[in-house]
Chains A and B, each alone.
Chain A
Amino acid sequence: MKLLEKVKTYNTQIGLTFIALLILVLFMVTAPGTFLRPRIYISFLSTTPFIGIAGLGLTLVLISGEIDLSFTAVMAFAGFVFATVMGFTGSIILGILAGLAAGSVVGMLNGMLVTLIGIPSIVVTLGMQFLIRGATNIIASGRATTLTEISGTPMYNILVGEIGGVIPAQSIWFLALAVLIWSLLFRHRFGDHILFSGDNPETAEMMGISVTKTKILVFTLFGMLAAFAGILDSFRLRTWWPTMGEGYLMTTMAAVFVGGTSMFGGEGTVYGTFLGAFLIGSLEAGIVAAGLSGFWTRFIYGILILIAVTVHTLLRRRS
């Protein structure tokens, strides 16, 4: 009885875990040379955290009943602010703080336009996406910035170094942030506010919760998370590129939806996003290693997304 209840509550997560295991076994069978050795997994741990961290923020925004398409531009913008401020001040810490602040401000602006003016978030953040990407390009004159001076610094090792010479530090950051976001969402007062704002804003208001404040905070938090992902990516590449993050929009959204968070607000899963990020992040390498040409990647993404979302929807309807 108790166990059955638990299974019902977590059926989305359990379903996704099975899909992930299935795909893993499939890869191991078709490309044992690659998937029975640790190297490919280390490579996933190195590249996946960027869409993963953005995915965590997107999960919060979706649960609050909104969407944010501007985060890839925010990643580039924050990376640029980081590189520039660091260049001027010579301080890595100041650069990071400035980058995080820049991302938060953009997020807050998104939230304010959505809640105070009342523009649908898909429109606001689409516009913001172009605006921020464009502004960054104008200021940077479209040129990349090399950041070779950061390699080997303590901050570099903390953010993207290799722990024990093996584990990429960014994967630990992703894990820690996932735990933090989960606690915030499901074990903190603020999480209740997010859940109810997305579920039924009138209920939330009736119980004395400010939906406006909650949503602005959620957008701000996502801005900060996207900024962190952008800064992290700049560290990893030791270069800031004006195109940074451009490939991440569709993959991040795919990771979150494959993970089982719904478009309709009020419900979502942090565990799902965590697993979804690794699924999406490993697919391309897996497909190529399995001997298929890169052309197959998108096709198989499509199949995975549609199957996962169908399973999630059916499970949700049954419970």
Chain B
Amino acid sequence: MKNIHKHFGGVIALRGVDFTVGDNEVIGLIGDNGAGKSTLQKVLSGLYPPTKGEIYIRGEKINPRDYSVKKAHELGIETVFQEKALGEKQALWRNVFLGRQPVGPLGFLDVDKAKSETDRIMKDFLGFTGAGISPESTVSTLSGGERQGIAIGRAMYFEADLIILDEPTNALSVKEIGKVLDFIREVKRRGKSCVYISHTIAHIYEVSDRFVILDKGKIVDRREKGDLTEQELIDELTHHAAKSEEGADV
């Protein structure tokens, strides 16, 4: 993405962001509250059209007017959210195939296929075996980590080349967070890419190859994991936070 701007009325959420994701890499996107991370994620995933700027996918320029969630899905870009990823009251198989249901000629669902494929995703991609969860279980009966697992498994199933995760570990227990991080490593092992947005530096540091730091709608730094330790990354963030505090005081 090149020179991305996004305004909400008077609020400028992004001001000239250049953001690139390479093959098979995990990028940690970091920044303070309100820095514009979620806005960037929503532009990338086709939910918000950018106010200004260019989007390239595999080197090809995308017309922002034709870009949408559907289009992003077609091009292999999937998004995973904390609470909004799944419909709570619906069966897993409906969630997995929402928007991309296997259907017959009149639009009637191929329920058997949806269920058996969901079962396959749970066993092959996620290692959910037994445990009392089936494709017919409703989402509300799953733990937070399992829900994120289903959302990530869905993205892997549809052969996403890029999976964007916006704070996927919010409100999860340590054990559940471990599961989500494992899913991210699995994505990387399969040769796909990830953008990982979080406030928890320890998790970001653990799984990311590169870090991009966003502050007030601008990218203020890019670092390779090899270049700095976790503590240095934290120091750098504190530094940016302090600087923008000063800015706010003036």
Contacts and interface: CB of A to CB of B under 8 A. Distances in A.
A204 B81 CA distance: 12
A213 B80 CA distance: 24
A274 interface: no
B73 interface: yes
B90 A199 contact: yes
Contacts of B141: 319
A139 interface: no
A191 B101 CA distance: 11
Q: Mostly helix, strand, loop or mixed at chain A's interface? A: helix
A204 B99 CA distance: 8
Interface stretch (B107-115, B173-181, B190-198): B107-115
A207 B86 CA distance: 9
B69 A206 contact: yes
Interface string B96-108: 0111010100111
Contacts of A199: 87-90
A74 B128 CA distance: 50
B85 interface: yes
A196 B69 contact: no
B47 A206 contact: yes
A208 B70 contact: yes
Contact of A192 (B85, B86, B94, B134): B94
A188 B108 CA distance: 4
A199 to B, nearest CB: 4
A196 B98 contact: yes
B84 interface: yes
B170 interface: no
A188 B88 contact: no
B109 A187 contact: yes
Contact of A203 (B84, B108, B111): B84
A183 interface: yes
Interface residues of B, number: 31
Pick the most buried of A5, A187, A319: most chain B CB atoms within 10 A of its CB: A187
Contact of A267 (B47, B89, B99, B101): B89
Given A5-B136, A9-B136, A203-B87, A192 B101 contact: yes
Contacts of A266: 87-90
Contacts of A195: 87, 89-90, 94
B79 interface: yes
B39 interface: no
Nearest to A63: B89
B111 to A, nearest CB: 7
A191 B108 CA distance: 9
Interface string B214-249: 000000000000000000000000000000000000
A183 to B, nearest CB: 7
B68 interface: yes
A113 interface: no
Interface in A175-233: 183, 187-192, 195-196, 199-200, 202-209
Interface of B: 45-47, 68-70, 73, 79, 81, 84-90, 94, 97-99, 101, 103, 106-109, 111, 134, 136, 138, 141
Interface of A: 5, 9, 183, 187-192, 195-196, 199-200, 202-209, 266-267, 319
28 contacts: A9-B136, A187-B108, A187-B111, A188-B106, A188-B107, A189-B101, A189-B103, A189-B107, A189-B108, A190-B107, A196-B90, A199-B88, A199-B90, A200-B88, A203-B84, A203-B98, A204-B98, A206-B45, A206-B69, A206-B79, A207-B98, A208-B99, A209-B98, A209-B99, A266-B89, A266-B90, A319-B138, A319-B141
